[in-house]
Amino acid sequence: MELWNLGNKLILLLFVVVAAYFRTADPSPWFVVFFLIYVALNLIEPLLKPIYLKRAAVITLIAYLLFCTFYVQSDFVLLLALSLYELASAYFRKRIPVLVVMAVPLLIIDQQNLFPLYAFIALLVFFNGNYAHRYTNKILRQDQQLDKMRNDQEKLTKRLHENQEFIRASEYTYKLEERNRLSQVLHDGVGHSMTGALIQMEAAKVMLRSDLGAAETLLQNAIGISKEAIEQIRLTLKNIKPPVQQLGIHRLKAGVEAFGSKSGLRTTVVHDGEMERITPLQWKIIQDNVTEALTNTAKYASASAVHVEVRVLGKLIKAVVSDDGRGEAKIVKGLGLLGMEERTAAVNGTIIADGTRGFSVTTLMPLEDA
Amino acid sequence: MNVLDIRGLSKKFGDFIAVDNMSLTVGEGEIFGFLGSNGAGKSTTINLVASLLRPSSGEINILDKNIAKHSRFAKMNLGIVPQDLAIYEDMTAFENVKFFAGLYGLRGEELKERTEEALKFVGLEDKAKSFPKNFSGGMKRRLNIACAIAHRPKLIIMDEPTVGIDPQSRIYILASVRKLNEMGCTIIYTSHYMEEVEEICSRIAIIDHGKIIADGTKEQLIATITDLKDIRIELKRGEPDLALSLKNIPGVRDVSVEDNMLRISSDMAVDNLSQILKVLIDSGADIRSVEEQEPNLETVFLTLTGRNLRD
């Protein structure tokens, strides 16, 4: 704002200098001195720090200009407009009083031809000043907002990192716990059984020469224990391995949700029917096709929401990705769609791409046991 | 022997794929239904079989002979009833049929006999000397059929033959389709009227976006989406205690009671309606109405494509 004021003053000064030079019959060298004093006084203001000194500088300037107007050259009155504007806007928030203050010099102008000129300059300064004022304020506000947002972003990024760290840590902890549990199970169950079996077998070896019957009983025991241990291993492994359908639908949901938060689209995932009939290979195809379709939605559809549905029907699996975007009357198969078709054809399935109401890609695959 | 054998057939119009890698066989004596919404690719497929369009890729065999190599043989064995009427309004009905039969190389006495036979078959023998411009929509359709069958083709393709005609003509046309089939013709019938296809076709293909997404008998198609039927029984008053005893009936999967409405979900393969009713009557329930809902082809289409047939 200060810079803007100085610039305005400079332009106005040039104008006044030129006007004074041409209108006066013989320009006196003293004029130059008075103009230079004006320039000097103007330069004092930005140098001062405290606000009251700044005001004092402006008032001095006004007084100086009034003095010049009356005793040196009436053209100096034109320069008053800017200083008065500066002073008035410092004291009044409302605009009308500022305008009134700026109109005061009109009363003291004695030369007729200066009257309209001053009025014009005053109005120009007033409106210009208003606009400059308004926009500088706006910029100021936006600057503050930007700063705030930067701060927020920094905080959020920090939190994100912390959360990611937490996830990594939790995953690691889970893995450790799981490993711990596994080794416990192996130690408690299988380890003890095997030790028992070993002792029995060693005893049998000793007894082999002396008491064949007892040795045989001991060996039979060892065989029994070993069988049990094998069964236990089998059971443990079976319990550890998560069912395919759980993995499948959870992985799908996680994938779709991750896509939703990345792309800003609303996502929904529903499933219906006996999910356990879907084989791991079919899950893989569903996952790949859904990912591909979601990418297409994000790229082309200009949609706000996307819906994913997996259903097990009588003899078919149906997986649909549909969005509420602008659709496409004429579907041109790109690499994405062709890839989906190829993948799906490998398990005797088909892809239906439809662009009549939003865009939807349906994967149909026959159930394997049907 | 396959009457029609389509392998890897595709047809592109610029970027648009009207028929997409379609494979299909139609055996002798079948009435094969093509079911799909408008623009699904039914008519394009038919035009390809009729050699009116050249395929972008793939091959078509009629009676085990490639139609591109044996075009005369293919045409002699194929009768097409197009969706848009193909008859001359300023020729009499007789002249129309004679003209089209003549195109297939019939001459003289044989041509006359076959023409009369075809007109008789569609019930227009007494209109032989009339001009089709005075015919009703249904009669024009029948004449259209006569033109396509006079040369006794083995395979007849009917493209939406019942669009925009009165119910009586429709019944007549459906009956003549059956009769042609009994006479040994294999028929391909396209329609977006699900009821018609359900009624007359021995095998049905559901076609969408130029692809066959399912085919089989009506029952097989329904089985692809579900093996359950819905039975709704309205009672005079709600009997929530009945649910348990109903669940013991073989085939019953689920029972729900809403006010005085009983909804039973049951295996389609098990015929248990009388058992269900017996349990209800024995327990003194007052039955108002019984409704058994099996899914139909419309449901199949909707479930598979997410759209209605008439969209």
CATH number at residue A313: 3.30.565.10
Residues A33 and A81 in one domain: yes
The predicted pLDDT at position A243 comes to 67
Tokens of B10: 């595709």
Distances (CA, A) of A139 to A142, A323, B22: 5, 40, 64
Would residue A311 count as lying in a domain? yes
Report which of residues B240 and A171 the model is more confident about: A171
Q: Which run of H or of E encompasses B212?
A: strand B211-216
- Whether the per-residue pLDDT at B188 is higher than 90: the answer is yes
- Is B16 in Cβ contact with A318 (below 8 Å)? no
Count CA within 13 A, CB hemisphere, residue B115: 25
Mean pLDDT, range B250-265, rounded to an integer: 83
The predicted pLDDT at position A245 comes to 64
Q: Is B139 exposed, middle or buried (0-12, 13-18, 19+ CB in 10 A)?
A: buried
B191 neighbors B35 (Cβ within 8 angstroms): yes
Rounded to 10°, the helix B108-121/B93-103 angle is 120
List chain A residues with CB under 8 Å of B214.
316, 364
d(CA A193, CA A298): 57
List chain B residues with CB under 8 Å of A331.
16-17, 209
Residues A235 and A248 in one domain: no
C-alpha distance from B304 to closest chain A C-alpha (Å): 7
Residues A218 and A252 in one domain: no
Q: Which of A277, A310, A311, A316 to mutate to test the interface with B (most CBs of B within 10 A)?
A: A316
Tokens of A261: 């938060």
Secondary structure (DSSP) of A83-137: HHHHHHHHH-SSHHHHHHHHHTHHHH---TTHHHHHHHHHHHHHHHHHHHHHHHH
Strands B78-81 vs B2-13: parallel, antiparallel or unpaired: unpaired
List chain B residues with CB under 8 Å of A349.
none
The predicted pLDDT at position B61 comes to 94
Q: Which residues of B touch A (CB under 8 A)?
A: 15-17, 208-209, 211-214, 222-227, 303-307, 311
Count CA within 13 A, CB hemisphere, residue B43: 11
Q: How confident is the model at residue B311 (pLDDT cuts 50, 70, 90)?
A: low
Question: What's the pLDDT tens digit per position in B33-44?
Answer: 998 888 888 889
d(CA A277, CA B169): 48
The predicted pLDDT at position A155 comes to 93
Would residue A188 count as lying in a domain? yes
Predicted TM-score (pTM) of the model is: 0.60
Q: Is B73 exposed, middle or buried (0-12, 13-18, 19+ CB in 10 A)?
A: middle
Domain boundary among A92, A111, A130: A111
- Is B311 in Cβ contact with A318 (below 8 Å)? no
Percent of chain B surpassing pLDDT 70:
98
Beta bridge partners of A222: none
The predicted pLDDT at position B55 comes to 93
Secondary structure (DSSP) of A51-74: HHHHHHHHHHHHHHHHHHHHHT-G
C-alpha distance from A325 to closest chain B C-alpha (Å): 16
Count CA within 13 A, CB hemisphere, residue A300: 16
A360 touches chain B (CB under 8 A): yes
d(CA A16, CA A203): 123
Residue B224's CB: how many other CB atoms inside 10 A? 24
Residues A39 and A106 in one domain: yes
B139 neighbors B161 (Cβ within 8 angstroms): no
Nearest CB partner across the interface for B213, out of A350, A357, A360: A350
d(CA A294, CA A270): 15
Beta bridge partners of A308: A269, A321
Would residue A127 count as lying in a domain? no
In terms of DSSP H, where are the helices of chain A?
2-23, 30-47, 51-71, 77-91, 95-103, 105-108, 114-185, 192-210, 212-240, 244-263, 280-296, 335-345
d(CA A226, CA A184): 18
- Is A314 in Cβ contact with B222 (below 8 Å)? yes
Would residue A76 count as lying in a domain? yes
Query: Average pLDDT over chain B, rounded to whole?
Result: 88
Residues A223 and A258 in one domain: no
The predicted pLDDT at position B253 comes to 82
Q: Which of A272, A308, A352, A362 to mutate to test the interface with B (most CBs of B within 10 A)?
A: A352
C-alpha distance from B97 to closest chain A C-alpha (Å): 40
Mean pLDDT, range B89-112, rounded to an integer: 89
Residues A262 and A175 in one domain: no
Task: Please list the ranges in chain A whose pLDDT falls under 50.
Answer: none
A315 touches chain B (CB under 8 A): yes
The predicted pLDDT at position B301 comes to 86
Strands B186-191 vs B155-159: parallel, antiparallel or unpaired: parallel
The predicted pLDDT at position B168 comes to 85
What are the phi and psi torsion angles at B293 (to 5°)? -115, 115
Residues A221 and A320 in one domain: no
3-state secondary structure of A156: helix
Residues A86 and A10 in one domain: yes
- Whether the per-residue pLDDT at B240 is higher than 70: the answer is no
**How many domains in chain A?**
3
Would residue A182 count as lying in a domain? yes
Residues A284 and A185 in one domain: no
Q: Which run of H or of E encompasses B30?
A: none
Rounded to 10°, the helix A192-210/A212-240 angle is 160
Would residue A143 count as lying in a domain? no
Would residue A130 count as lying in a domain? no
Residue A191's CB: how many other CB atoms inside 10 A? 14
- Give me Rg for the CA atoms of chain B: 24
The predicted pLDDT at position A361 comes to 92
Burial A317-340 (b: 16+ CB within 10 A, else e): bbbbbbbbbebbeebeeeebbeeb
**What are the structural domains of chain B?**
2-223 (3.40.50.300), 227-294 (3.30.70.100)
B7 neighbors B58 (Cβ within 8 angstroms): yes
Strands B31-35 vs B186-191: parallel, antiparallel or unpaired: parallel
CA B53 to chain centre: 23
- Is B307 in Cβ contact with A354 (below 8 Å)? yes
- Does the CA dihedral A164-A170-A174-A176 come out positive or negative? positive
Q: Is B86 exposed, middle or buried (0-12, 13-18, 19+ CB in 10 A)?
A: middle
Would residue A156 count as lying in a domain? no
Domain that holds residue A194: 171-240
The predicted pLDDT at position B247 comes to 83
- Is A330 in Cβ contact with B15 (below 8 Å)? yes
Residues A233 and A255 in one domain: no
Residues A260 and A362 in one domain: yes
3-state secondary structure of A306: strand
Residues A184 and A258 in one domain: no
C-alpha distance from A258 to closest chain B C-alpha (Å): 26
- Is A330 in Cβ contact with B224 (below 8 Å)? no
**Which among A42, A45, A116 has a CA at the least distance from the CA of A77?**
A116
List chain B residues with CB under 8 Å of A352.
208-209, 211, 213, 304-305
Domain boundary among A220, A240, A260: A240
List chain A residues with CB under 8 Å of B208.
352, 354
Secondary structure (DSSP) of B183-202: TT-EEEEEES-HHHHHHH-S
B211 neighbors B22 (Cβ within 8 angstroms): yes
A363 touches chain B (CB under 8 A): no
Mean pLDDT, range B233-251, rounded to an integer: 80
d(CA A206, CA A183): 32
